[in-house]
Amino acid sequence: MNLRASVFIATSLDGFIARTDGKLDWLDAANATVPEGEDCGYHAFFESIDVLIMGRKTYEQVLSFGQWSYETKPVIVLSRNKIEIPEQLAQTVSHSSESPKELCERLSKEGAKRLYIDGGVTIQRFLAEELINDLTITVIPVILGRGIPLFGMLKKDISLKHIATKTYDFGFVQLSYQVVKD
């Protein structure tokens, strides 16, 4: 399988991607400090991917923003349950209940080269199945104390190779790692 699965996400300093209720107000507040035109490499990353895969909770959160920011990029929502897809998104958004491995195998056969994996549980599932190739984690200078963690319980350690660290004058620190495969 010649497919690369990548994570590009922000966390609080203590490793949370959202509050326990899923709210991202802390991230919105931090983003207000970012100079206009700076996206911490997100646009270039997004242009490099073929398909975005997210979990149902992340999908519902993104829908709540009111504006769909993924344009015509294919998005697959992983969920065991049926999801509602608004008519205006039906051309680009689909649903799958496949395992991460089955989904990657299918997308590879369909010609996808790079996947963007998003959402806490979805990232954890892909990591557990050893499908993530690289992670870019932007650490936001805030400590939440509790929330939805980026990482969960693992059956074994996941070794990483440091690729780069970038610091921003407005306080963000971006860490890039390659997952070391056995």
At residue 70's C-alpha, the angle toward residues 69 and 71, to 5°, is 95
pLDDT in tens, 47-103: 999 999 999 999 999 988 888 889 899 999 999 998 999 999 999 999 999 999 999
The pLDDT confidence band at residue 154, using thresholds 50, 70 and 90, is confident
Give the Cβ contact number of residue 100 at 10 Å: 23
What pLDDT does 2 receive? 85
Taking the model in full, what pTM does it have?
Answer: 0.95
What pLDDT does 67 receive? 85
What pLDDT does 101 receive? 96
List of domains in the chain: 4-179 (3.40.430.10)
Mean pLDDT of the chain: 95
CA nearest 60: which of 87, 31, 23? 23
What pLDDT does 149 receive? 96
Distances in Å between the alpha carbon of 50 and those of 5, 20, 33?
10, 31, 30
The pLDDT confidence band at residue 113, using thresholds 50, 70 and 90, is very high
d(CA 136, CA 177): 6
pLDDT in tens, 7-26: 999 999 999 999 999 999 99
d(CA 103, CA 110): 11
* 165-177: average pLDDT: 97
- Indicate the residue type of 11: T
DSSP code of residue 67 = S
Percent of the chain with pLDDT over 90: 90
Distances in Å between the alpha carbon of 121 and those of 35, 57, 72, 78?
31, 9, 24, 10
* DSSP reduced 3-state for 100: helix
* 107-114: average pLDDT: 96
